A and B are shown apart, each in its own frame.
Chain A
Amino acid sequence: MSILPLSLDKVSFRAGDRALLDGISLTIESGPKTVILGANGAGKSLLLRICHGLLGPSGGKVRWAEGTTRQYERQAMVFQKPVMLRRSVAANVAYGLKLRKVEAGERARRVADALRRTGLTDFADQPARLLSGGEQQRLALARTWALEPEILFLDEPTANLDPGATRAVEEIVSGIHDSGAKIVMTTHDIGQARRLADEVIFLHRGRVAERAGADKFFSQPSTEEAAAYLRGDLLW
């Protein structure tokens, strides 16, 4: 049984007396690639971290599908700045599998698969921290792919990458989607959102300003904030 849908019920997050997220209610179903779009400071990363369980909300509830267990093992996250363990590329992929007690033969198979699918096979024995930025982010994706998550959160995974590396990451993200994982990704790059999104959640100042299918969102945004953001107006 899937851990999806993920439901957020009036989730808020406060820092001091500032509400960084304010009353967010959402249901995230399996299937379409969901892109969370919004300006810096809109609360995208925070929302993702709360969904993934790295942070607890100040108010409201985050719920996975009823009757499911061990949800933390069935999801994964890729960060804007990948954290490379001080180990070989292959050991970085194997690490999460070891934590999940995947037995050695199966582990080796999944590591090899993940490296092949991300084009990192030739780097398997290299220290991960000597990879370039783009290769590191591909490794971060390989690492999560090997875990075969039901849902994968990606927090601006291409924010620090050049166009070539960005395209490689986008292709891998699509590959992970095709293998059956739900993709939830934040970006402030409208072009990337157009390329990847099946549906868009537009965050503005800690609230969901609009949620729509990608075609609809990009052609006829229904809120003034979203329209302004798409036009490139400064919202602040």
Chain B
Amino acid sequence: MSDMGQAFVLALQLIAALDAELLEIIARSFAVSLAAVAIAAAIGLPAGAALAVYRFPGRRAVIVLVNALMGLPPVFVGLLIYLFLSRAGPLGFLGLLFTPTAMIIAQAVLVTPIIVAICHRLTRDLYEEYRDQLCSFGARPHQAVRTILWDARVSLVTAVMAGFGRATAEVGAVLIVGGNIAGLTRVMTTTIALETSKGNLALALALGLILVLTAIGVNAVAMSLGGVSAYRRG
């Protein structure tokens, strides 16, 4: 118990002192996850809305698959990306293994299905409501996709936030493809795993606290955005 108390105090001291190593790790975590989420959103939002609008054979199967992929185990994704990026792999010539870019790719692969699936659920209902009106206006399907993405933009923040939460919290994929190299590919979650196993609980705990605070902050922002908009948009 006193161990834990001590570690907790040390953790708070690290945060309060803006410890350089701590800040660097936090900054890298955010940079990697933001980039991954940006890529995943750029692919996932149009894809999710397209699944709501277009009718094609196999659409249901795609939806089932995307929803299943939401629960993709990060270590497995890490392994796959590792195989692709390793020297002998098809993309080995790029020399990306154990770089932040590899971590961004891994997180983007993890997050994209989440954004597609949530975006699909959110835009499906909106499109149900809009369909006749948009047809009547003469909107083509690709125009309908743009319209529902724009009109659902506030609730879609939730989809992106969920993706960001998943990206910052996962450890398996970035550990495998990033290698947890100090000063290069070490992020919050991999540091926590490493420092805990080394018995350096203070740094691990400090990073854990930051992660939790991030999650709370992100959700608070998402919720207040949603609240403002519910009032403004009706």
* Chain A interface residues (CB < 8 Å from chain B): 49, 52-54, 72-73, 76-77, 79, 83-87, 95-96, 99-100, 127-130
Q: Are B136 and A99 in contact (CB under 8 A)?
A: no
A86 contacts B233, C-beta separation under 8 Å: yes
Query: In the complex the two chains form, what is the Cα distance from A99 to B132 in whole Å?
Result: 15
Task: Determine if B139 is an interface residue (Cβ-Cβ < 8 Å).
Answer: yes
CB contacts under 8 Å to A, within B142-159, are 143, 147, 151-152
Q: Please determine whether B138 and A77 come into contact, CB atoms closer than 8 angstroms.
A: no
A127 touches B138 (CB 8 A): no
Let me know if B129 and A130 touch, CB within 8 A: no
B200 contacts the other chain (CB 8 A): no
**Bound state CA distance, A128 and B234, in angstroms?**
8
- CB under 8 Å from chain A, chain B span 93-142: 129-130, 132-133, 135-139
Chain A proximity of B226: nearest CB distance (Å): 13
Contacts of A127 in B (CB 8 A): 232-234
Chain A residue with minimal CB distance to B229?
A: A86
- Establish whether residues B135 and A54, one from each chain, have CB atoms under 8 Å apart when the complex forms: yes
A72 vs B138: C-alpha distance when bound (angstroms): 6
Contacts A54-B132, A79-B133, A130-B234; A87 near B151 (Cβ below 8 A): yes
Chain B minimum-CB-distance residue to A95: B137
A52 to B152, CA, bound (A): 27
**Could you tell me the dominant secondary structure of chain B's interface residues?**
helix
B contact residues vs A (CB 8 Å cutoff): 129-130, 132-133, 135-139, 143, 147, 151-152, 232-234
Decide: A96 and B137 in contact? CB cutoff 8 A: yes
Closest to B155 in A: A86
Cα distance A127–B151 when bound, in Å? 12
8 extra A-B contacts, CB within 8 A, seeds A86-B152, A95-B137: A53-B135, A54-B135, A76-B137, A85-B130, A85-B147, A99-B143, A130-B233, A130-B234
**Chain B min CB distance to A147 (Å):** 8
A83-B147 contact given A72-B138, A129-B234, CB 8 Å threshold: no
Instruction: Determine how close the nearest CB of chain B comes to the CB of A34; give it in whole angstroms.
Output: 18
Cross-chain contact of A54 among B136, B143, B152 (Cβ < 8 A): B136
Return the contact of B136 from the options A77, A87, A129 (Cβ within 8 A): A77
B234, A85: Cβ atoms under 8 Å?
Answer: no
Distance of B144 from chain A, by nearest CB (Å):
10
A127 CA to B137 CA in the complex, in Å?
20
- Quote the shortest CB–CB distance from A3 to chain B (angstroms): 13
B48 to chain A, nearest CB (A): 17
Would you list 10 pairs from A and B whose C-beta atoms are within 8 A, ordered by A residue? Answer: A54-B136, A76-B136, A76-B137, A77-B136, A83-B129, A84-B234, A85-B133, A85-B147, A86-B233, A129-B233
- A-B CB proximity, top 10 nearest: A129-B234, A83-B133, A86-B151, A130-B234, A96-B137, A77-B136, A72-B138, A127-B233, A86-B233, A73-B138
